[in-house]
Chains A and B, each alone.
Chain A
């Protein structure tokens, strides 16, 4: 039987009332989204760990001091803090794009090799590393919407408000971000993971012969 999970709002109330376990649940629920958002911007695991801490420390201070605004979703709020901190950090350090691009070593690899074949794991890691690079190649506005919507759990309207554009512009940017990613992935078959984008080559061949 599925157990009902307390809402973020309920957990925040419990946390403000002094129940530390409520914060542990909030952290567990949102840390991956926040961390992924930061990683896609700063591309350095150590920096991302630091920024994740800064993000949640800000949240702790805001909630414990009674300044947390109940309007809107906690997930959007926390990811917006993370996004802003990551962008600030990125601008401040003016990172070289070549710095720490070795994403095959430990960054983003959360599964152990024991759980799958070594070759399959390598292919998967290469595909994921390439996809991350392709996200970096997107125009800044498209990348921003993609990260905010997919990892930051912000609605398109919230993104529109945060970035000062109309919702249709935010939707358009997301649409083109996905189209661009798809095109770039398809243009490089070596990275075209059949598990992610299955292609029935046999049926394609039959159609071509028939036409």
Chain B
């Protein structure tokens, strides 16, 4: 019998938070359950969309922090 999984379990799966055994069970279920696979694909697409919003600070800010750290070291 194929085990059913909740959306919450799928969420933990796509964020790599499931224990290895449960992860394996989800992956087996994904092979046979088209609806589950579609839900999983939706979550992965949402992740990808959110990843695209990621951005980095300016080089100036990064350089200031590195400089601060070096100065702090000398003070100690």
Interface residues of A (CB under 8 A from B): 18, 20, 23-24, 27-28, 31-33, 35-36, 39-40, 48-49, 52-53, 56-57, 60-61, 64, 107-110, 124, 128, 131-132, 135, 146, 149-151, 155-156, 168, 171-172, 174-175, 178, 181-182, 185, 193, 196-197
* Secondary structure call for the A interface: helix
Q: List 26 A-B contacts (CB under 8 A).
A: A18-B73, A20-B69, A20-B73, A23-B66, A27-B62, A27-B66, A28-B62, A31-B62, A32-B56, A32-B57, A49-B61, A53-B65, A53-B68, A60-B65, A61-B72, A131-B49, A131-B53, A135-B53, A150-B50, A156-B11, A175-B7, A181-B46, A182-B46, A196-B48, A196-B49, A197-B45
* Secondary structure call for the B interface: helix
Min Cβ gap B1→A in Å is 25
Expressed in whole angstroms, the Cα–Cα distance for A39 and B50 within the complex equals 13
Tally of contact residues, B, Cβ under 8 A? 32
Known: A60-B65, A155-B15, A171-B11. 4 other contacts (CB 8 A): A155-B17, A168-B8, A178-B46, A197-B49
Chain A proximity mask over B19-46: 1 for CB below 8 Å, otherwise 0: 0000000000000000000000011011
- Does A171 lie within 8 Å of B8, measured CB to CB? yes
Chain A residues near B47 (CB-CB < 8 A): 150
